[in-house]
Structure 1
Amino acid sequence: MSDFSADFELDGEPEREFHAGVARRMAHKTVASGALIRDPGGRVLFVVPNYKPFLDIPGGIVETGEPPSAACAREVGEELGLDLAVGRLLVVDWTPGRGPWSDQVQFVFDGGVLDPSVAIHPAGDELTGFRWATLADAGPDLRPSVYRRLELALTAVSSGATLHAEFGHLLSPA
């Protein structure tokens, strides 16, 4: 994790609450980070979670005090045993809360191009495996909102832009 101690020193003393308890009453969102990892042929590396019926990209929930890019690298390491150099931010996507999940801000980072012969070791406590597939081929096994987000991430790779979305729908121009 990054050391922000010099930045804290420059910012000075933490703000004090003008009205006690206001900060505790404010909404809190879940933050998640994932890596768009591709092979030389353009296929995407998907994980097969054992806790939901859909494919996903490697990644997970950002811990308190953890930067999203660091969370992405940590999660890829925990899930797949890969020491990934996280690239640039491709997409920031907000998703509404549904079922047991609160609304989320989701970051998709460029995980780069990985040779498919590199050893991948799925974490048995949360994954049943992994799969290389084109987005179109994986489509039936993805939530539509995730499909839209990953379409935007692939657009961001080729355009060089970072895209802003809500529930997988583009808000900023490509």
Structure 2
Amino acid sequence: MIQMDTRLAKLARGGDRAAFAELVELYRDKIFHLAYRMLHNRHEAEEIAQETFLRVYTNLDRYDENQKFSTWIYRIGTNLCIDRLRKRKATFSLDAELNEGEGGDWYNTLASPEESPDNQVVLSETQQQIRESIETLPEKYKAVVILRYLQDLSLQEISDVLSMPVTTIKTRLHRGRDFLRKKLEKLL
């Protein structure tokens, strides 16, 4: 039996805009939440979701109907998030000079580590600690932990999304859990 999203992808590939709109509707929230959990920034998550759907649309002819559509779209979204995280690391320099009119010093260009007031209300203290601990995970563990526990993907699906053997996924998941456990034991 062909999955509904695979059928929609076939129709969209043939130029059916309504079918593509249905795919967007099916995956919009899932891709946004994946990006938000990886990037912890609503604006960037929205950009990643848009870029994911743009890439899906422009690459529909490359989609292999023998694999699950969800795996394909999650792979695109995850890779875009990983690319964004890599670019973030080298963004600021202590020696950077500000352009005229920017005022202040380099410290003012850093993003605030604090949550918005509405997020502070929503998240319990424990959830906040877990989220902060996930944020500190090394990249190679972070994607696996988020896809497994926050997106609820199976090990095989994560393997397909990240193009890695299941054994590597298991190892990274185990090491990521150990990292989180040790971090949380110190906090709690």
If the length of structure 1 is used for normalisation, what is the TM-score? 0.29
Say which structure, 1 or 2, has more relative contact order (CA 8 Å, 6+ apart): 1
* Structure whose residues are more often strand by fraction: 1
The structure having more radius of gyration, on CA atoms, is 2
Structure with the higher helix share, 1 or 2: 2
